Every structure is written in structure tokens, then in C-alpha cells.
């Protein structure tokens, strides 16, 4: 009889730590040090020759964040993981590590604005050409791939419209052309979707969000096979976007309740989305768990839950949208997502205020667009808070 693999919560609590403790402590310590000493030249020589696995300098490794990396590997089914100071640092380091000068990148139209900004302002300096496609149009993906296409980078679900990619089919298309597939799985988490198992080559997380879960840290991560992660880790050592030991410890602590928190986020997200869809002042709701979402079929067949982020459009102008968010008292008006506290934002104001109305329209950012990140509060309290927003319209 084969041994049953441990469940999500068991791996989240014990993964990457129990067999690696250097003392009798139940929890991994915070190794607050910039460097690590060698007792003699012989041990240093063994380390330099690769015969000894240990830490040397804080930019290359730290036992606290090694524990986080091991835990992420167990949760994602990965061979290796590498931590970063932020999710954006994870994305930019991955791009710089993997994209040769003059290469080709494919990305989706619905994505985090700072990712788009890095591509437009910095990758173009390396003569890297980018093709933008619709998130779920695999025919567009197939047509966009070229002999020099190095990466297809996409979120799944995307931000802010929560489009969901058929990762297995996308991987098949990419691999036929020798292109690597990168999935930013920040909004899914390994609890709701393990993209590596569906064929993705890299999975990226802004660990600031659901993985940390408490709005108290900045972190990022990339996971994958050992051979694929190696150049990304090498680039981190050069570029220096390393996570602080204390932030890594907070992330380690947050990960232990990931499966429990995601169950509540999933529950609140689906119930609130369903409630919003029936509200007379809501024009449209985007949530993969709803049958009305364009990618509901794919999401239902590939994801175990749909998360706590909901995007919806009010039947309102921009000023009325501001009144809606101002009237909410339980939900914090704040960027980000994935924490235990509910956050709300008028997307045009929070993330795209520097764009003209015409530019926002081209990007699909409407004046009445709201992004709600449901926390783990009680459902009835969240509904009552949103009702205050509707009353202010």
C-alpha cells in the first residue's frame, strides 16, 4: 500500500522545518546575521569546492529563509525555491536572469501594472520585444510564439479581472516551440492551484499577499526544477534583492496557516461575489467561481478554490465610486490583497490615477471598477459593510 501524502495544512505546518532543525526548538529561529564564520581554512575550502553545504554570506543564503524555501517546495511540488525581498523583485530578477538581449517575450493584457511598467521601461532597453495577448486566447498564444520567444509570462488568476489560464494547454503550446511558461500564481496560491503539476516551468508568488497573509511583510518567491531555478538564484546573488531574516520568519509563520486561511478566503469570496452579482447597483462581477465569468469552466476544472479577490463594476461614475469606498468602515481603503483584513480600492484611483481617462479606457479600467480583497471576517459583517457603500451612492 502506498503511503498517503500529507495534506495541505500538514505540509504548511511541518514542511521544510522538522527534519532540518539545528536545535530542539519547535520553530525555526530568526538568524539575524549578515555573515557566517568558518572555523578553519579546510572547511572554507570544502565549501568553495562544493563538498560542504552551508551558508557563507547573507546575500547568498540564510537558514531562516532556507526553511521558507523548503516549505514552499513541499507546498508547490517543486525541487527548488528562491526567496526575494518582494514579488516585484522576484519578477524583475526572473526576467533579467532568463531573457537574453534581443529576445522575445509574450505576456497577457490583464496583468499587474508594475510588471507592465518594467517591461515597457526597462526590458525595451535590452531590445527585448514583447507581444501582448488576451489571457485565455490560446490561438493568440500559438500565433504569438516565435523561434526567439524565451518566455510566456502570465498571472493566473490575473489582476484585476481574474482571468484563469488553461495552464496544461498553454504549457503544451509553449513547449512545442521551446518556450518556457511562467505562471504568477499569487492569487491562486498552491492551495487552490499547483501550476507546476499542470506543466508550468516556473511559478512566481508575491508572498506579500496570501502566503504571508497578515499584511505585515514584503516578500516574493520563484519555484521550479533545480536546473531552472539555478540561474535565477545566481542572479539574485548579483542583483541583491534578498529578503531580511525577520521578514522571512514572518512569512514562515504565515505559511503555517495558509490552508486554513484560504478555506475562509475561498468561502467569503464565493459568497460575496454571488451576493454582489444579484445587487441592482452592480453592473458586472468578475470572479472565477461564478458561472458568468469567462473562464469559469477552466477555473472549475483546474482550481480547488477561487480565492478572496473580487472585481466588480458599480453602476456609478468616478465620484460616486469614491463615495462607495469612503463609506465602507470594516474594509480598509488600501492596495494589496490576500491578508486577513478585507481591503477595498477604486481601481482607477488606487492603481491608475496617473493615466488619462482615455488610457484607462484602453486598459479596460472603468470609473466604477472596484477591487475587493475579502479577508477572513464574518460574511454577514462584510455584507453589512458593503451595504454602507451602496447606501452612499
Query: Which residues does the annotation mark as catalytic?
Result: 59, 112, 184, 209
Closest to 107 in 3D by CA, of 199, 197, 198, 181: 181
| E strands present in the chain | 80-84, 104-108, 129-133, 149-155, 180-184, 202-206, 220-224, 282-286, 309-314, 332-333, 343-346, 369-373
Cell 578553519 sits on residue: 40
Distance CA 27, CA 356 (A): 50
DSSP assignment string, 370-384: EEEE--SS-HHHHHH
Distance CA 285, CA 269 (A): 12
Closest to 184 in 3D by CA, of 237, 135, 250, 241: 135
Q: What is the DSSP letter of 163?
A: -
| Residue 66, C-alpha cell as written in the block | 532556507
The alpha carbon dihedral of 328, 329, 330, 336 has a sign of: positive
Distance CA 212, CA 219 (A): 8
Cell 483546474 sits on residue: 302
Ramachandran category for residue 33: left, alpha or beta (phi over 0 → left; psi -120 to 50 → alpha): beta
Task: Confirm if 98 and 231 have CB atoms less than 8 A apart.
Answer: yes
Distance CA 385, CA 228 (A): 46
Distance CA 89, CA 91 (A): 5
Strand order in the sheet with 369-373: 282-286, 309-314, 369-373, 343-346, 332-333
Closest to 209 in 3D by CA, of 384, 373, 331: 373
| Residue 237, C-alpha cell as written in the block | 546573488
Amino acid at each position: 500500500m502506498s503511503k498517503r501524502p500529507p495534506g495541505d495544512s500538514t505540509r504548511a505546518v511541518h514542511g521544510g522545518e522538522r527534519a532540518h532543525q539545528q536545535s530542539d526548538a519547535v520553530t525555526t529561529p530568526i538568524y539575524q546575521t549578515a555573515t557566517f564564520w568558518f572555523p578553519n581554512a579546510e572547511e572554507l575550502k570544502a565549501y568553495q569546492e562544493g563538498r560542504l553545504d552551508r551558508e557563507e554570506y547573507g546575500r547568498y543564503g540564510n537558514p531562516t529563509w532556507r526553511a521558507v524555501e523548503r516549505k514552499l517546495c513541499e507546498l508547490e511540488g517543486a525541487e527548488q525555491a528562491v526567496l526575494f525581498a518582494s514579488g516585484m523583485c522576484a519578477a524583475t530578477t526572473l526576467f533579467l536572469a532568463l531573457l537574453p538581449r534581443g529576445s522575445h517575450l509574450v505576456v497577457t493584457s490583464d496583468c499587474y501594472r508594475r510588471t507592465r511598467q518594467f517591461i515597457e521601461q526597462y526590458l525595451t532597453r535590452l531590445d527585448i520585444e514583447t507581444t501582448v495577448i488576451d489571457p485565455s486566447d490560446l490561438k493568440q498564444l500559438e500565433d504569438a510564439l516565435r523561434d526567439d520567444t524565451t518566455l510566456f509570462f502570465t498571472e493566473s488568476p490575473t489582476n484585476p479581472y481574474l482571468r484563469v489560464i488553461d495552464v496544461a494547454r498553454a504549457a503544451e503550446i509553449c513547449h512545442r516551440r521551446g518556450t518556457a511558461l511562467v505562471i504568477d500564481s499569487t492569487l491562486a496560491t498552491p492551495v487552490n492551484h499547483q501550476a507546476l503539476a499542470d506543466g508550468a516551468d516556473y511559478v512566481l508568488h508575491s508572498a506579500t499577499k496570501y502566503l504571508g497573509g497578515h499584511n505585515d511583510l514584503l516578500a516574493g518567491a520563484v519555484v521550479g526544477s533545480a536546473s531552472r531555478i539555478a540561474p535565477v538564484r545566481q542572479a539574485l546573488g548579483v542583483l541583491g534583492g534578498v529578503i531580511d531574516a525577520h521578514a522571512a520568519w514572518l512569512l514562515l509563520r504565515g505559511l503555517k496557516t495558509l490552508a486554513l486561511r484560504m478555506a475562509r478566503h475561498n468561502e467569503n469570496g464565493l459568497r460575496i461575489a454571488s451576493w454582489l452579482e444579484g445587487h441592482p447597483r452592480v453592473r458586472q462581477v468578475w470572479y472565477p467561481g461564478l458561472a458568468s465569468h469567462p473562464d469559469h469552466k477552466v477555473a472549475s476544472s483546474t482550481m480547488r478554490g477561487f480565492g478572496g479577490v473580487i472585481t466588480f463594476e458599480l453602476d456609478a461614475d468616478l465620484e460616486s465610486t469614491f463615495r462607495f469606498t469612503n463609506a465602507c468602515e470594516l474594509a480598509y481603503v488600501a492596495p494589496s490583497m490576500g491578508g486577513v483584513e478585507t481591503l477595498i480600492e477604486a481601481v482607477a484611483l488606487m492603481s491608475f490615477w496617473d493615466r488619462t481617462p482615455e488610457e484607462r479606457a484602453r486598459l479596460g479600467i472603468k470609473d466604477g471598477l472596484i477591487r475587493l480583497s475579502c479577508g477572513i471576517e464574518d460574511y454577514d459583517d462584510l455584507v453589512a459593510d458593503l451595504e454602507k457603500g451602496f447606501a452612499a451612492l
